[in-house]
Amino acid sequence: MQQRGEEDRGFAFNALLVLHDTMTSKKHILPTALYIHIPFCAKKCNYCDFNSMVSESRVVDRYLHALSKELDTLASQYTFTTIYIGGGTPSLLSEIQLERLLRSVIRYNATSQTQEYTVEANPGTLTANKVRLLKEYTVNRISLGIQSFQDRQLQFLGRIHSGDDARNVFTLLRSAGFKNINIDLIFGCPEQTPDDWKKDLEIAIALNPEHISTYALTYEGETPLTRDLKNEVIRKLDEYTELEMYKTAIEYLTLNGYNHYEISNFAKSGYECSHNHVYWRNTSYVGVGAGAHSFIDGMRMSNEKDVFRYIHGMHENKEVKSFRECLPQDHFVSETVIMALRLRQGITNTDFYERFGSTIQDQFGDTISILRKAGLVSYDDERLKLTEKGLFVADTVMAEFIYI
């Protein structure tokens, strides 16, 4: 891992690749982040509404071919400082498939320019050989979908791995030399007690990863868990306990040296996720693969979500974008503030002015004044951010900045 110190972190937070069009005076923000979507999983988890499916190996082969073609035509136009291979379960690929994917990424991108190269992995599918391949192909950050260390919890969520698998894979990654590992954890499951959650946090802290993401369980779309909820087979954990669990995470993790830098994310100093900062700062990125989103120069696009239609489109050299929208400036401004409020450091007037040519106060003066009076945001030293009180009702606060 190319370790990033405080100075580099500042770069990741503040620098945008901006080109000025001398004819029109328009600023063009070039994408610096590449997302690659692998939409395959060994089994669908009970809570999962992501674009992923269980599939045969030959479909995966055809998909990788299509992906490589898309990388060839699109991603080669840019230089990326961050690359993120997510899913789905990228670690599900066979060793041959994984090497093929990693080779196509390294072939089409100046990875020597890449500061952060993340691959998501499921503890149930990562082997010593795959870890070796990741290392060999310069991947320097692993995001482990652990969710819990307790088997009862993992079974409830429908995960394919056990708590022991999670610990063993973490050790395997460390002994292979990975120095930047994220652990994903879920809280707020029915019947999960505050003590269960504390135990998960304690085990995570003892492993000493550089980054921890904590997410409250949500009931999306038509997942088995949503069905069980509707049929009253299970009951949601009450909001009070869920909020207490979130507070426990903040307290435990900050006490143990993790900086709470984003609503759901905690990192040791210098290990904040640079790739996700691109989303939180609402700047440009490129997504490849089925259903992947891109945001380039004010234009939002997404690829065909259906894996087979995506493969077919790429095979036939057809357009695979299923959605394009040129974001109106007011929406862009509003989205930028909402996304930035996710960061504990919020957004500065200088940053806002550089991008939009006006101050946050000019745009949202009345809203800020009401929220300040309610103690939900602070606007000191020209920086707008959530207060601790605002953090616990973040969705409500952010909704006040939605452009109508």
Part of the chain binding ligand SF4 (CB under 6 A), chosen from 41-49, 102-110, 229-237, 344-352:
41-49
Nearest distance, CB of residue 156 and ligand SF4, angstroms: 13
Distance CA 47, CA 38 (A): 18
DSSP state of 53: B
Nearest distance, CB of residue 85 and ligand SF4, angstroms: 13
65 contributes a contact to ligand SF4 by CB under 6 A: no
The binder of ligand SF4 chosen from 36, 67, 88, 163 (CB under 6 A):
88
Amino acid, res. 240: Y
Q: Is the peptide bond before 298 cis (omega within 30 degrees of 0)?
A: no
Distance CA 121, CA 358 (A): 42
Within residues 137-156, the interface with ligand SF4 by CB under 6 A covers: 145
Nearest distance, CB of residue 162 and ligand SF4, angstroms: 15
The binder of ligand SF4 chosen from 52, 68, 223, 334 (CB under 6 A):
52
Bridge partners (DSSP) of residue 285 are 33, 295
> Which residue, 107 or 227, is less far from ligand SF4 as judged by CB?
227
Which residues fall within 8 angstroms of residue 142, CB to CB, at 6 or more apart?
A: 118, 119, 120, 121, 134, 173, 178, 180, 181, 182
Nearest distance, CB of residue 297 and ligand SF4, angstroms: 30
83 contributes a contact to ligand SF4 by CB under 6 A: no
Nearest distance, CB of residue 90 and ligand SF4, angstroms: 10
In the sheet that 383-386 helps form, which strands lie side by side, from edge to edge?
347-348, 383-386, 377-380
The first and second tokens of residue 22, run together, are 């001398």
Nearest distance, CB of residue 289 and ligand SF4, angstroms: 13
> Which residue, 51 or 367, is less far from ligand SF4 as judged by CB?
51
279 contributes a contact to ligand SF4 by CB under 6 A: no
> Which residue, 48 or 105, is less far from ligand SF4 as judged by CB?
48
> Which residue, 208 or 218, is less far from ligand SF4 as judged by CB?
218
> Which residue, 200 or 400, is less far from ligand SF4 as judged by CB?
200
> Which residue, 67 or 360, is less far from ligand SF4 as judged by CB?
67
The binder of ligand SF4 chosen from 122, 140, 214, 336 (CB under 6 A):
122
Part of the chain binding ligand SF4 (CB under 6 A), chosen from 81-89, 287-295, 323-331, 346-354:
81-89
DSSP state of 111: G
∠ Cα 348 353 356 (to 5°): 125
The binder of ligand SF4 chosen from 12, 29, 38, 41 (CB under 6 A):
41
Nearest distance, CB of residue 224 and ligand SF4, angstroms: 11
The binder of ligand SF4 chosen from 87, 291, 346, 390 (CB under 6 A):
87
- Is residue 318 classed exposed, middle or buried when 0-12, 13-18 and 19+ CB atoms within 10 A define those classes? exposed
The first and second tokens of residue 219, run together, are 């009931």
Distance CA 374, CA 19 (A): 40
Bridge partners (DSSP) of residue 385 are 378
∠ Cα 78 98 215 (to 5°): 80
Amino acid, res. 159: R
**Number of residues near ligand SF4 (by CB under 6 A):** 11
44 contributes a contact to ligand SF4 by CB under 6 A: yes
The enclosing H or E element of 20 equals: strand 18-20
Part of the chain binding ligand SF4 (CB under 6 A), chosen from 22-30, 84-92, 314-322, 373-381:
84-92
User: How far, in Å, are 64, 170, 217 from residue 152 at the CA level?
Assistant: 35, 20, 15
Judge contact between 40 and 87, C-beta under 8 A. yes
SS3 133: helix
CA-based diameter of the chain, in Å? 63
Nearest distance, CB of residue 106 and ligand SF4, angstroms: 24
Nearest distance, CB of residue 401 and ligand SF4, angstroms: 30
The length of the chain is 404
Cβ-based neighbour number of residue 222 at 10 Å: 8
Nearest distance, CB of residue 47 and ligand SF4, angstroms: 7
Part of the chain binding ligand SF4 (CB under 6 A), chosen from 86-94, 108-116, 269-277, 343-351:
86-94
45 contributes a contact to ligand SF4 by CB under 6 A: yes
48 contributes a contact to ligand SF4 by CB under 6 A: yes
Contact residues: ligand SF4, CB under 6 A: 41, 44-45, 48, 50, 52, 87-89, 122, 145
